[in-house]
Amino acid sequence: MDNTRDREAISEDVFSAEGVASVKSGDDIERTSQILDEEVNKLRDQMPSLRIQNHLLCPVDRVPPELLARIFVELVSVQPLAYRDCSPGLKLGWIVVTHVSRRWREIALQHTVLWANVTLALGSEWMDEMLVRSKSVDLNVQIEAGLACKVSSLQPHIARTVHLRLQTEFATGLQYRDSPISQPAAMLETCHLSVTNCDHFDLPVNLFASNAPRLRVLSLKTCAISWTRLGFSSLVDLSVVYPLECEWLSQRNRTAAYRSKLLQTLSRLPSLEHLTLIRSLPSQSGTILPTSGSRPDAAVPLLSLKSLSVDGDVTDIGAFLFILQLPPTCKLKVRCGSNSSSEMRQFSPLLPDLLRFLDKPFLRLDIRAPVQSIGNYQLVLWTSTNSWADGPLLPAESEYSWYAGAQVPDLQIMFHSTVDFEDNNDNLGDDLGEESPNFRTASNARQLCADLPLESLQVLDVFDELLVWKPEIWLSLFGGLKNLRHIRVNQGPGLSLARSFSKTLGESESSIHWGPESLSFPHLATVTIMAGLDMWYSTTPNYLDVLAKALRHRKDSAAPLEGLYLQGYAKSTQQLISKYGIDKILPVFIGEDSP
């Protein structure tokens, strides 16, 4: 049937709503329905063209392709692909712009830089498509894969990869010559390799075929490394980390030969600014540490180093630091585990030698040991008095945020027990058993203060909820400080501090007087007491009574204090302050104030 002729033969009135309703005969109904279907199909065919014409009328579609591509590039940084999110509701980020219109899609496909951020989050097909669409531009590759074999398609593209972050559970295949990390990487600047499974994995002997001349950052996690062939002289940041659960894996490589190769490699990295070695130090088990005052036969110069972070046994750390020559501006972070008092007796006298690189005295010491961190005891030192730029000297903060916004410490020492917290959960606060590993760790760490060079110290900030502080502890650790101006303590150590101010050791509280074995601190200006978990209101009156007596005797024997600060105490404490007459001895500030 010639539908065109039929359509012309049918009155135009038929195509109105009333006309269609008036068609009665079967033949007319069939012909009319067929013609209407054809009209609908024509309109459907015209709709894409009409939409394109409509889009062309929009201001954004009159934007030049170069400018639109630039907008897409900016969108990549603002709305990146949701890395690690492989759920059905995956956020596609900037990729959604390729589905707005045909013109946008064509521009996006032609702009290779948009496809330079390669990920496996959308599947291997998407990753391969990104590699193709990026053509020859520099790549930023961030891949998390259960099996390393999934990244084999990267092999031809490593030569143009600038940033590589690869995390895999099983690294089988990465050690072979045809793996991506065995290929030359002339453009590579940063590389982060991480194996989450504590399985045996040796990096290729010739990592990147020993050809990565622009490599600045190399971070390795659970990867055994051959130091002999690590010849990337351009390295600025080097990190080798073994997680605690994989520490056993690092033991096999920590021999004397390993130590020699590590030191030789470090000596060939003249631009190195940041070095992190976590459970990857050479082992010194069974050896004797150098004696105090001795010097290494040949120190390894790391004269560009800005920060050094090490974690391991105390003897391993002592021997490693002893052999290094560090610049005076280097920030040192030490985290070590030891419950052995004999090891600590070897390590502690070495501290002045290990810190000989500093050309400025320590002016501030913070001790942090909140009860929640049982098994960890931290000493933090600065060569400046105020660690918070343009902030208060002793800001009122919780034990979790006390360091927030602070300058990087010049020295940070954290000791941790080698015994799991759950095995010692009854050892809290003052109930730490003196035979428990947690107690020995904390006690040994605190005793380090006796050997630290603190002669010029001006600020002492102690927050210790783990150990009992007795007057003799204060005297043995800090009795020689003549320049101290500000002290802050939580209530537990603060009680013994007050007693240390005003009585000779061994005498009863009823015979309090300023004795020759009392703390003097001749230039002390302020004392701050910080409320903590060791603060019970039932003991506060007794504490303030002792403090009042100490302040009265100090007033008669030393320069008057400028103020007493009670941080975290309720305003009602003012009644007790007045009861014991403390506010008549010196100004008292209750609340969040700081010197």
Say which residue, 507 or 335, is predicted with more confidence: 335
- Contact predicate 207/235, CB 8 Å: no
pLDDT at 91: 44
DSSP string, 395-413: ----TTTTTTTPPPPSEEE
pLDDT above 60 for 421? no
CA distances from 571 to 296, 396, 487, 589 (A): 57, 15, 22, 10
pLDDT at 217: 97
- Contact predicate 296/323, CB 8 Å: yes
Q: Which stretch of 34-43, 380-389, 525-534 has the lowest confidence by average pLDDT?
A: 525-534
Closest by CA to 191, choosing from 125, 237, 145, is 237
Confidence at 510, pLDDT banded by 50, 70, 90: very low
pLDDT above 60 for 347? yes
Closest by CA to 424, choosing from 352, 487, 375, 363, is 375
- Region of residue 219 (left: phi > 0; alpha: psi -120 to 50; beta: else): beta
Confidence at 327, pLDDT banded by 50, 70, 90: very high
pLDDT above 60 for 538? no
Greatest mean pLDDT among 19-28, 97-106, 413-422 lies in: 97-106
Global pTM value? 0.81
Secondary structure element (H or E) that encloses residue 487, with its range: strand 486-490
Alpha helices in 224-299 (DSSP H): 247-251, 256-267
Q: Which stretch of 5-14, 292-301, 349-358, 453-462 has the lowest confidence by average pLDDT?
A: 5-14
* Alpha carbon distance 404, 111 (integer Å): 42
- DSSP annotation of 253 reads T
- Contact predicate 68/99, CB 8 Å: no
Q: pLDDT > 70: what percent of the chain?
A: 78
- Torsion angle (degrees, nearest 10) of CA 298, 300, 303, 308: -140
pLDDT above 60 for 15? no
The stretch 205-225 carries a mean pLDDT of: 90
Confidence at 260, pLDDT banded by 50, 70, 90: confident
Secondary structure element (H or E) that encloses residue 509, with its range: none
Say which residue, 495 or 214, is predicted with more confidence: 214
The model's pLDDT over 218-243, given as tens digits with 9 standing for 90+, comes to: 999 988 787 877 778 999 999 999 88
Secondary structure element (H or E) that encloses residue 502, with its range: helix 491-502
Longest dimension (CA), the chain: 126
Confidence at 80, pLDDT banded by 50, 70, 90: low
pLDDT at 229: 73
Helix (H, G, I), strand (E, B) or coil at 27: helix
pLDDT at 84: 47
Q: Can you give 158-200 as a three-state secondary structure string?
A: HHHEEEEEEEEEECCCCCCCCCHHHCCCCCCCEEEEEECCCCC
CA distances from 440 to 179, 374, 412 (A): 48, 12, 19
Confidence at 505, pLDDT banded by 50, 70, 90: very low
CATH of 360-408+448-595, one of 3.80.10, 3.40.50, 2.40.10, 2.160.20: 3.80.10
pLDDT at 453: 93
Q: Which stretch of 7-16, 47-56, 274-283, 528-537 has the lowest confidence by average pLDDT?
A: 7-16
Kindly give, in sequence order, each residue whose CB lies less than 8 Å from that of residue 579, ignoring residues fewer than 6 positions away: none
Mean pLDDT of the chain: 80
* Alpha carbon distance 40, 137 (integer Å): 47
Q: Which stretch of 15-19, 160-164, 271-275, 465-469 has the lowest confidence by average pLDDT?
A: 15-19
* Cα-based angle 151, 157, 162 (whole degrees, multiple of 5): 100
Q: What share of the chain is helix, strand, coil (3-state, %, to 5)?
A: 40, 20, 40
Helix (H, G, I), strand (E, B) or coil at 488: strand
pLDDT above 90 for 79? no
- DSSP annotation of 224 reads B
Which residue type sits at 379? L
* Alpha carbon distance 4, 412 (integer Å): 90
Tell the burial category of 44 from Cβ atoms under 10 Å away from its Cβ (0-12, 13-18, 19+): exposed
pLDDT at 422: 40
The stretch 98-126 carries a mean pLDDT of: 83
First-to-last C-alpha distance (Å) of the chain = 100
Residue 296 burial (CB count, 10 A)? 13
pLDDT at 2: 54
Confidence at 17, pLDDT banded by 50, 70, 90: low
* Alpha carbon distance 535, 531 (integer Å): 6
pLDDT at 219: 95
- Region of residue 451 (left: phi > 0; alpha: psi -120 to 50; beta: else): alpha
CA distances from 360 to 402, 420, 547 (A): 24, 38, 34
Closest by CA to 356, choosing from 299, 281, 434, 272, is 299
The stretch 241-261 carries a mean pLDDT of: 75
Say which residue, 479 or 170, is predicted with more confidence: 479
CA distances from 286 to 247, 258, 315, 322 (A): 19, 16, 9, 17
The model's pLDDT over 448-493, given as tens digits with 9 standing for 90+, comes to: 999 999 999 999 999 998 888 988 899 899 988 999 999 999 888 8
161 half-sphere exposure, CB direction, 13 A CA radius: 28
CA distances from 481 to 188, 454, 505 (A): 52, 7, 18
Kindly give, in sequence order, each residue whose CB lies less than 8 Å from that of residue 99, ignoring residues fewer than 6 positions away: 105
* Alpha carbon distance 240, 242 (integer Å): 7
Secondary structure element (H or E) that encloses residue 594, with its range: none
Closest by CA to 324, choosing from 281, 379, 380, is 281
The stretch 557-574 carries a mean pLDDT of: 85
pLDDT above 90 for 381? yes
Residue 574: alpha-carbon gap to chain centroid: 41
* Alpha carbon distance 55, 62 (integer Å): 9
Closest by CA to 168, choosing from 150, 152, 148, is 148
Beta bridge partners of 479: none
- Contact predicate 440/413, CB 8 Å: no
Confidence at 216, pLDDT banded by 50, 70, 90: very high
Helix axes 491-502, 540-557, angle to 10 degrees: 40
The stretch 76-103 carries a mean pLDDT of: 60
Say which residue, 327 or 107, is predicted with more confidence: 327
The stretch 275-279 carries a mean pLDDT of: 94
pLDDT at 92: 53
Say which residue, 282 or 457, is predicted with more confidence: 457
pLDDT at 402: 58
Write out the two tokens for 67: 């400018």
* Alpha carbon distance 343, 418 (integer Å): 14
Confidence at 514, pLDDT banded by 50, 70, 90: very low
The stretch 234-259 carries a mean pLDDT of: 80
Q: Which stretch of 20-24, 256-260, 316-320 has the lowest confidence by average pLDDT?
A: 20-24
The stretch 176-184 carries a mean pLDDT of: 89
pLDDT at 254: 66
